[in-house]
Chain A
Amino acid sequence: MPLLRLPRSRRDLHAIIPVDLLVNFTLRDLRSKYKRSALGWTWSVLNPLVAVVVYSAVFSVFLRIQPTVGDPSGLHSYAVFLLVTLLPWQFHVTSLTESTRAITANAPLITKIYFPRWVLPTSSVLARFLTLLVEMAVLLILIAVLQGHIAFQWIPVVLVLMLLQLLFTIGLALMISAVNVYFRDVQHFLGVALAPWMFLTPILYPLNMVPADREFLGIGYRTLYQLNPMVSWAKAYRNVLYDLRFPSLERWLAIVAATAVVLALGFRVFNRLEPRMAEEV
């Protein structure tokens, strides 16, 4: 089924995007996640909290990394500086690690019932996205307290950024969950790749600490560094939530382009690999 075709009616829309199936799988992931754990949902709050404390201690206190001063917000707090990029990054990491096994872990289902398979990695990302929404709401309150007023006008901008990141992550999740059916190496590779990826994204330090005057094979460090699409998101999130400033047009273009390419590629790869999934899984 060609996926990127426009729906002509409400019924048509349901045939292309099985909304109820997505909702039910997302709810399944959310509901089952903390079943039979004493702390339950507290874990999803504890996780970023511990990360902020540890990273702040190591990078701000021990290594003395100075956060930039928010312009024009005037904010100067390593914790906020860190959180505005760390929360989206943690969404990125957990979405990918959880969705890698979205197909393989549901093998009994896939070999017994037919339904559009792309719903599985997608709903796994969606479930994690709902957690991000709550986390970001808490962060906005924290920023409002530090600022003394709520910056309502930035909320829609953050939401657009988050939505684009969601689509980007779904594209990646489709790719890796499908390839993981055939090569289980993917899940191991991901475990190895995500840590360096984080350090090569301006989360723990400002982008201007990456040297602009040094070159590698005739290409500037900064240019190479910016090939990482997550740099654009980190920078944009920091612009909106820390500096309280609209990201530059180039930033937006880079983000939209990366999202479109990865999402299209994700569906392409997934559709190519889908037919034999039930046999290989």
Chain B
Amino acid sequence: MAPSPDSAVLLDGLGKRFRLTHDRNWTLKATVLAGHRTRYEEFWALRGIDLDIPHGSTFGIIGGNGSGKSTLLKMLAGILRPDEGAATVNGRLSALLELGAGFHPELTGRENVYLNGAILGFTSKEIRRRFDDIVGFAELDRFIDEPVRNYSSGMYVRLGFSVAIHVEPEILLVDEVLAVGDHTFQKRCLDRFAQLKAEGRTIILVSHDLDMVGWLCEQTAWIQQGTLRAVGPSPNVIERFLDGAGDSPTPVAPSPSAPRRFGGLGPDDLVRAVDLVDANGHPMDRVGSGRPVRFRVRVDADQVGEPVTVALGLYRADGTHVASINSGAAARAADEAGTVEVDYAVDSLAVQPGIYELSVALHDATMRRVFERHTHLVRFEVEPTGVDQQNGLVALGGTWSARSVDR
């Protein structure tokens, strides 16, 4: 990969090897007795990663559990040393791998701000100048001289986040940290990211939350089993990720032609059923192009126990993303008890005839946490309804007319 002066981060064939020690109790004696014979197995957690992340970009990294995302982030942060290839970082980097990792429980919030700031590479003078901002952002003015062991986990995280973003990094690494904190704080964190982005700083975000990655990041890399599977504009990569692997750690061969009608729901799933129904609630398995339809999702509300947001994704059989809709606050299941039916009523399904697939996801009320995601759960046919010759993605539903303009 050609080095570019605009690169904030340049990875060239990056690889990391871990040792699996079979006997964890290896001691000095054992090593002396065993001499140089190694008693561990090696495996590559990450290999052959080439990436060029330009300055000022917001870059997402997605992948299943154990795919190597965090290993990659730790190498960028300098915590782990690569065993192969090189990672070049141009600019001051701050890593939010765990908020408040450097806090000492017995010290006060104030003392910890200075300590954590120093760990992140700040001088005490620089911290003193930003101290009020840090405390203000964390909303801890009254508690700053209390030992942090008395803090709630929310307060702890707020202070950690506040210190980390006030060090004014040129490159910010974020690992799944927004999964904590309450809704308003998350909102402010996102605002702060947007602000950092506007200031031209580089943000690298590792997350399971595809919606957030899609919303925040222009470019995304998908890592699977330690190798780079795809990199490019976020919507494309996320789509390939959903098609190819879903949330399972092993890649599933994409087979868009296989019939998967109403299948794929287990007995423990929160989503009980997904149906297409007409205005009277009668199930249908085909819809006329431009005709009304209701997408009905049945959710086991008792099992969730908190308000959920339902999100629907409509895809053409060839994988083209047609539309995504989420219920927002409008139709929150689990405000009720038992099984709840959430309907999304469409007056006119304005798509071209063909085979379509519906994906369903359940989020918490803030849309930051995914409870379940069922990709391409329902397959259905959209029938032609007119005699018009049409092609493309949408059915515009217009009418033709002709009249003479010759006077």
Contact = CB atoms under 8 A, between A and B. Distances in A.
Nearest to B80: A278
Nearest to A115: B119
B390 to A, nearest CB: 56
B4 interface: no
B402 interface: no
A20 B106 contact: no
Contacts of B81: 275-276
B77 A20 contact: no
Interface stretch (A26-34, A84-92, A131-139, A205-213): A26-34
Contacts of A27: 111, 115
Interface in B69-117: 74, 77-81, 95, 97-98, 101-102, 104, 106-107, 111, 114-115
Contacts of B18: 279
Interface of A: 14, 18, 20-21, 23-25, 27-28, 31-32, 35-36, 108-115, 183-185, 275-276, 278-279
B338 interface: no
Nearest to B17: A279
Nearest to A108: B101
B120 A23 contact: no
B124 interface: yes
B118 interface: yes
Contacts of A183: 27-28, 31
Contacts of A24: 114-115, 118-119, 124
B44 interface: no
Interface string B17-29: 0110000000111
Given A32-B106, A183-B27, A113 B123 contact: no
A32 B102 contact: no
Contact of B118 (A20, A110, A184, A279): A20
Given A32-B107, A114-B77, A279-B80, A109 B119 contact: yes
A273 to B, nearest CB: 12
Nearest to B27: A185
A276 B98 CA distance: 20
B286 to A, nearest CB: 54
A36 B150 CA distance: 13
B262 interface: no
B66 interface: no
B119 A21 contact: yes
- 6 closest A-B pairs by beta carbon, nearest first, are A114-B78, A112-B101, A24-B118, A35-B106, A275-B81, A185-B28
Nearest to B21: A280
A28 B101 contact: no
A109 B102 contact: yes
A27 B74 CA distance: 28
B104 A32 contact: yes
A107 B250 CA distance: 31
B79 A113 contact: yes
Contacts of A20: 118, 122-124
